[in-house]
Chain A
Amino acid sequence: MMLIPCPFCGHRNESEFTYGGPVKPDRPDPNATSDEDWVEYLTTVPNPFGPVQERWWHARGCGTWLTIWRDTRTHDIVEGPSDAE
């Protein structure tokens, strides 16, 4: 169980959050993107052996969708949401 930094609530237990997956690049304009690029956008996410940028929803908390950088090797949160601001 991780301790996830919420920008509103501070550090909270992972069980209060819903995992939102790795942050993808910005959604391309679906009408101006090739099939290949669209499929790549949908199916291929960053999968680093190291820090990954990802979203969590503080669903059993203040409701914030937040972004952190978490090292997939250690689960250490190397950059919290407030660090990015």
Chain B
Amino acid sequence: MSYDAAFERLPINACFDLKGTESALVEWIGAEVLPDFPAEANCCRKADGVSLEHVGPRHWLLQADIDREDDLNGALRPHEAPAEVSIVRISDTMTTFRITGTDAAHVLAIGCPLDLHEAAFPEDAVSFTEFFGQTALARHCVGGFDVSVEQSFGDMMEDYLKRALR
């Protein structure tokens, strides 16, 4: 009996790296563009297909479908942002693997030291962690997890996941 789990490599998302204080970011971007800022560390808020993820001190990721990239870029105006705010388009930097199935958590645990139990990693949790030795962003998806790694490691991760799913 092998695992009840499968993975797929997703197309890239629109992704913007936001750094600065919450107030400076809101002031620059305008509250209407963003979901509410997640109050807690390593959790996300979603609104209107846009997800805002609090992944580090004064550090958020804004993610949406890739066809929203230009819109968001226009709204965020990364190049004109004031000194106190850093906004960088990083859509290409990560590649995402969707791992689903009843054994998804086990398969993830082969590469990831994070406690993925719902008590420790609830539905709205999102966090940078380690996946097969590399930095990775982990979060829930329907029936499993999405794990994003630095794009250049994508082929290696695919290799790893194939091995893990045997």
Query: Does A touch B (CB under 8 Å) in the complex?
Result: yes
A positions within 8 Å CB-CB of B: 1, 7-10, 12-13, 15-16, 59-64
A residues near B135, Cβ cutoff 8 Å: 59-61
**Complex contact A60–B56 (CB within 8 A):** no
Task: Give the distance to chain B from A62, nearest Cβ to Cβ, in Å.
Answer: 4
With A59-B135, A62-B55, A64-B57 as known contacts, state yes or no: A9 contacts B130, CB within 8 Å. Answer: no
A10, A15, A16, A63: the one within 8 Å of B59 (CB): A63
B113 close to A (CB within 8 Å): yes
**Complex contact B56–A62 (CB within 8 A):** yes
Task: Give the distance to chain A from B149, nearest Cβ to Cβ, in Å.
Answer: 10
**Complex contact A63–B113 (CB within 8 A):** no
Task: Give the distance to chain A from B107, nearest Cβ to Cβ, in Å.
Answer: 18
A residues near B7, Cβ cutoff 8 Å: none
Task: Give the distance to chain A from B18, nearest Cβ to Cβ, in Å.
Answer: 14
B127 close to A (CB within 8 Å): yes
Interface of B is mostly: strand
B95 close to A (CB within 8 Å): no
Task: Give the distance to chain B from A5, nearest Cβ to Cβ, in Å.
Answer: 13
When chains A and B are docked, how far (Å) is the Cα of A59 from the Cα of B135? 8
A residues near B102, Cβ cutoff 8 Å: none
Q: Which 7 A-B pairs have the closest CB atoms?
A: A13-B113, A62-B56, A60-B130, A60-B135, A16-B130, A61-B128, A63-B56
**Complex contact A8–B130 (CB within 8 A):** no
Task: Give the distance to chain A from B53, nearest Cβ to Cβ, in Å.
Answer: 11
B91 close to A (CB within 8 Å): no
A residues near B152, Cβ cutoff 8 Å: none
B134 close to A (CB within 8 Å): yes
**Complex contact A8–B41 (CB within 8 A):** yes
A1, A8, A60, A62: the one within 8 Å of B134 (CB): A60
**Complex contact B113–A9 (CB within 8 A):** no
With A9-B41, A15-B113 as known contacts, state yes or no: A61 contacts B129, CB within 8 Å. Answer: yes
**Complex contact A16–B41 (CB within 8 A):** no
When chains A and B are docked, how far (Å) is the Cα of A61 from the Cα of B42? 10
